[in-house]
Structure 1
């Protein structure tokens, strides 16, 4: 794998019967929960435990493009890529897939917070590098 490419994280998505709307597919609002779960899982899986304990993440913005409906029986994965970090902000792209089919694409912006003060906090460079490719 090319170390200059963004690192991708896969998060299995569980579809609950309560996620299904009156049209027989996953309600659009459920995708936001999936993205939040996937980004937080990414953080907790990649960051060192002390950094996880010291930081929280809050979503500032989500831009969702819905491509295809998702159904209860579908096997779905959310693929998360950290695109960039600027100060306490991080920008992610999350692709929700059923096999090769793209169900949705979500661009989101998150703010890293100090867990105690709940004020914006920059990640240490070595922690941020676990998500992002090295800069040339």
Structure 2
């Protein structure tokens, strides 16, 4: 199973009064990774319809550790855990991996995304080309649900 890897820069303005990245900023990080995955990578693979419109139907996020500002980016791994007829679920881990292979996970999250026809102002079905692209990143592991168990 392949995962999309996104190096997300941290900005000084991302920090809160307690000296770590504010909880709401993580949603922006997830959005950046999702756009890189669904717009940039999908378009390069010939499945660029997502750039024509999609909406977020749901977010679920577990904060595991505080993330403090530093000059190096944080890694966001993105994969697909569900593909329906007119929606998909994207899962993420925001983390660092040390040289010895040890991982520090800051956030585990998932987002339900609905492809959207902007001209018709309504949801649309996932196309066969989009489904083929998404299936390359399919894994049934859902990070948020796995943590709750």
Shorter-normalised TM range: 0.7 to 0.9
Aligned to 1:111: 114
Q: Which moved more, 1:118-127 or 1:28-37?
A: 118-127
Deviating runs (4+, > 6 A) in structure 1? none
Structure 1 spans left out of the alignment, 5+ residues = none
Which structure 2 residue ranges, 5 or more long, are not aligned?
A: 98-102, 139-149
Alignment partners' CA distance in 2, 1:125 and 1:101: 36
**Aligned counterpart for 2:42 among listed residues 46, 53, 66:** 46
Q: Judging changes above 3 Å, is the alpha-carbon distance between structure 1 residues 10 and 36 closer, same or farther for their aligned structure 2 residues? A: same
Equivalent pairs, count: 128
Q: Secondary structure at the match of 2:135?
A: coil
- Provide the TM-score with structure 2 as the length reference: 0.78
Instruction: Report the TM-score, using the length of structure 1 for normalisation.
Output: 0.85
Relative to its length, the structure with more strand (as a share) is: 1
Structure 1 or 2: more helix by fraction = 2
Q: How large is the Cα RMSD of the aligned pairs?
A: 1.8
